[in-house]
Amino acid sequence: MNIALQPVIMAGGSGTRLWPLSRAGYPKQFLVLSGNTSLFQQALTRLHGLGGEGLELAAPLIVGNEEHRFLVLDQMRELGIDPAAALLEPSGRNTAPALTLAALQATEGGADPVLVVTPADQTVGDEGAFRAAVREAVALAAGGAITILGVRPERPEIGYGYIRAAREAGHAGSPPGGWHVERFVEKPDLATAERYLADGSYFWNAGMFVLKASVWLAALQRFRPDIATATRTAWAARTTG
């Protein structure tokens, strides 16, 4: 049986680290930094390549800022990709509300796909390895797991958050090479980052999540009912056009 897969691209960031190239009206994800396509377009293309091999791929959901409506639609049109929906926030509210909006959209009509959630402003050097990792994550997520993709650090980076992970031998459903999250840690100082690198069980947090829409909604309701309620209220009052 095929697994229904719903790509979700988070395109609402302001890209302040690349100022003045990136600015509020034209943030990092819409810039062409190499080649002929923007980071947003590269994310679209990567996720578009996930179909097949038992995965039923839907058109992408885009969560972004109202201010960037035409950037989103114009850059998708250049690739010949139509969105399932473009969910536009009047102002950014970080990852949890944005992911909740995507989950609510994905479950309209009773569906419950596996969401593959990725930021719009990243580059991926080995797309084959990326697809393989996502497919492993999808297999776990289809069974109800919450999965996250980490990046093995190459240097003691102080600008990223980290994931502390641990192997659990013989864990049911654990994929080859899979790890289990122990905790998330914020951006460290240099000495701490060097310790993380030497430890070998810390990964850069890439902000890429793979999980069923219903699993996310249930987890949010359990751990942050305030965000769940506020987002559902905003969803109920949404306008379409």
| Per-residue pLDDT reduced to its tens digit, 20-31 | 444 445 688 898
Percent composition of the chain: helix, strand, coil (DSSP 3-state, to 5): 40, 25, 35
Domains of the chain by residue range: 3-150+205-236
Residue 85's identity, in one-letter code, is: A
Is residue 241's pLDDT more than 70? yes
The three-point CA angle 51-47-131 to 5° equals 70
A 10 A CB-CB count for 24 gives 12
Length of the chain: 241
Give the residue-averaged pLDDT of 153-175: 78
Instruction: Assess whether the previous peptide bond of 176 is cis (omega < 30° from 0).
Output: no
Q: pLDDT tens across 80-131, in order?
A: 999 999 999 887 778 999 999 999 999 998 999 999 999 999 889 899 999 9
Instruction: Give the separation between CA 183 and CA 142, rounded to whole angstroms.
Output: 22
Where does the pLDDT of residue 9 fall: very low under 50, low under 70, confident under 90, or very high at 90 and above? very high
| Lowest model confidence (mean pLDDT) among 40-54, 90-104, 150-164, 167-181 | 167-181
Instruction: Give the separation between CA 6 and CA 113, rounded to whole angstroms.
Output: 6
3-150+205-236 has CATH 3.90.550.10 classification: yes
Q: Reduced to 3 states, what is the DSSP secondary structure of residue 197? A: helix
Interacting residues of 66 by C-beta distance below 8 A, sequence separation 6+: 88, 89, 90
Instruction: Say what the pTM is.
Output: 0.88
